[in-house]
Structure 1
Amino acid sequence: MSVSKGILLKKLSDGVLNMEEEAVIEACNEYVEAGYPAFDGIMEGLVDGMNRASQLYEDEEYFVTDLLLCSDAMYEGLSVLRPHIPSNEMEREKPKGVIGVVEGDTHDIGKNLVKIMLDTAGFDMIDLGRDVPLQNFVDKVKEVNASFVCMSTLMTTTMGGMGTVIELLKEAGIREQVKVIIGGGPISKKFADTIGADGYSSNAVEAVKLIKGLLEIA
């Protein structure tokens, strides 16, 4: 007799939360063999675990390194479950987002966390990496027809580049079709308003909520 779906979903969630890659892989295989929907396993198991980990990070019980280890466990689980998602569910159009650290800054841990959370929330993320030339943000938004762009920096000396990207988006005639979200240590809502960004987020969890709100996604 197979284990109940609820018990296996909790195993998946707990495995991610506890950074246990092997436990997650084992639970994913058990879940698939029991015939439960892979999509539910991802959203109600793996993503749930990542959300719980993010909450502990917000509560200052987990560190950035813990979150990255949780995400490693989550990605191991995704590699098991994704092949079992029916093609019609895989084909659903995901909102595309471009993310990167602006030119002159190589600090990317915060950016990586935001990307992980947006990945798990179902967005199709294109990661430009760190120290990204400003025009590259605009070029990639045009190339993939992105719905939003996320920029981060931890340095006051590179903050101005974010405003430049917004001006470049205007010059390219695509500012109205893309939401601009910024974040990072020295960034504030006041700064976001000053340069004409659509939103500011102080952490990865808030970034997901903010973007869903801007794109009017439930």
Structure 2
Amino acid sequence: MFDFTKLSNAVIEGDNEQVQVYVKEAIDAKVDPLTIINEGLIGGMNVVGQRFKVNDMFVPEVLMSARSMNAGIELVKPFLAGGEMSNKGTVIIGTVKGDLHDIGKSLVGMMLECSGFKVIDLGVDISPEEFMAAIKENDGKILALSALLTTTMLSMKSTIDVCVEQGMRDKVKVIIGGAPISQEFSDQIGADGYAGDAAAAVELVTKLLKDNEMVAR
């Protein structure tokens, strides 16, 4: 039996080199590629997510862990049968028009990827029309909007308004986040939810997609 603890710990510590060493060991030992990802790499990131939530880890450390996990996944990818990595749903994420902040958004994107979602990160300063085009092109189920400036908060409302105008609002769940954002603001502009940090965003996306499945049934 391969010991996944050392691989998970290397991810938690953000140690790229050790992660790659242990992933290669697992591949050489003929461990199932998906098991390497789920037990070792995502297993480590799950711990990171929990520690981040209780302020036991901070953004720079989480980013290091996420990068080391991605380094491990890149090594495993060639051994996966086509498209075998789980995709729980596609999330379109970006920072709204007029705002150039991206650390929080990138962190949310990484944590969602770690949790098995497909993430299309559009970057910063994204117009409502660009968000809509990405939803259509990628069959996005969740639209995640980020803003760090109070002056760009209203761009979130504009994006939701365009979503309604284009008849897409019932096809996609909209979540928002960023330093000045609150649940109250989320309710005011008609978003489906607000997440205060990356771990909360993963929980919210998981819940919204689960609720969607229930309705579809």
Quickly name the TM-score band, shorter chain normalised. Answer: over 0.9
The change in CA–CA distance for 1:93 and 1:21 in structure 2 (over 3 A counts) is closer
Q: Distance in 2 between matches of 1:133 and 1:185?
A: 20
Paired residue for 2:183, among 189, 197, 213? 189
1:87 and 1:144 map into 2 onto residues whose CA distance is: 18
**Cα distance in 2, alignment partners of residues 56 and 146 from structure 1:** 29
Q: CA deviation at 1:153?
A: 0.7
Could you tell me how far apart the structure 2 residues matched to 1:189 and 1:52 are? Answer: 26
CA distance 1:121–1:161, shift in 2 (3 Å): same
Answer with 54-63 or 129-138: which moved more: 54-63
- Residues 126 and 54 of structure 1: CA distance in aligned 2, closer, same or farther (over 3 Å): same
- RMSD of the alignment, in Å? 1.6
**Alignment partner, residue 107 of structure 2:** 113
Equivalence for 2:154 = 160
**Does 1:169 pair with 2:152?**
no
Amino acid at match of 2:60: T
Report the CA distance between 1:101 and its aligned residue.
0.4
1:98 CA displacement: 0.6
Q: Look up the match of 1:60.
A: 55
User: What's the CA shift for 1:192?
Assistant: 0.6
Q: Distance in 1 between matches of 2:210 and 2:95?
A: 25
Alignment map for 1:117-136 (pairs within 5 Å): 117-136=111-130
Q: Which aligned segments of 4 or more residues in structure 1 are displaced greater than 3 angstroms?
A: none
1:177 match: secondary structure: coil
Query: 1:166, CA displacement in angstroms?
Result: 0.8
How far does residue 162 in structure 1 lie from its aligned partner after superposition?
0.7
Partner SS for 2:119: strand
Q: State the alpha-carbon separation in 1 of the partners of residues 107 and 42 from structure 2.
A: 13
1:45 lines up with 2:40 in the alignment: yes
Q: TM-score, normalised by structure 1?
A: 0.92
Whether 2:125 is the aligned partner of 1:138: answer no
TM-score (norm 2): 0.92
Alignment length (residue pairs): 212
Aligned-pair distance for 1:151?
Answer: 0.3
Structure 1 unmatched ranges of 5 or more: none
Among all aligned residue pairs of Structure 1 and Structure 2, give the percentage whose two residues are the same amino acid: 40
Q: Is the 8 A contact 2:87 2:117 kept in 1?
A: no
- The whole-number CA distance in structure 1 between the counterparts of 2:154 and 2:179 is 14
